[in-house]
Amino acid sequence: MVEKTKLDEDREGKYVDPSHYRGMIGTLLYLIASEPDLKFAICMCARYQARPTEKHVHAVKRIIRYLRGTVNQGLWYLKDSSVALSVFADADHAGCQVTRRSTS
């Protein structure tokens, strides 16, 4: 299920403890090295470390739930196999809904 809500500053939301939120973001930033597909979502949440609200915590918990559900999934390529790997990159120009800047 893909949620279509825009993650923004949310000035009307209930504020939460910024140090706890920063701790959750720091943990997720550590995973970017091994899970580069999550980089965009984690960096979007990291933008709101100064004044996080419940909306932002909900987005971080959604990422953590995704990780918990995919912990046993992966690909295994044998060294001697004849599988040819190819790469595709999809640039997202003006992907940031707030500043209209490139996010890739």
Rounded average pLDDT per 10-residue block, the chain, 104 residues = 69 90 92 84 92 94 92 83 78 68 62
pLDDT at 102: 64
- Separation between Cα atoms, residue 90 and residue 24, nearest integer Å: 28
Boundaries of every domain in the chain = 1-104
5 C-beta neighbours (distance < 10 Å), count? 8
C-alpha distance from residue 31 to each of 38, 43, 49, 67 (Å): 8, 12, 18, 10
First to last CA, the chain: 23
pLDDT at 84: 81
- Separation between Cα atoms, residue 47 and residue 36, nearest integer Å: 18
Rg over alpha carbons for the chain, rounded to the nearest Å, is: 17
pLDDT at 74: 81
Does residue 93 contact residue 102 with C-beta atoms inside 8 Å?
yes
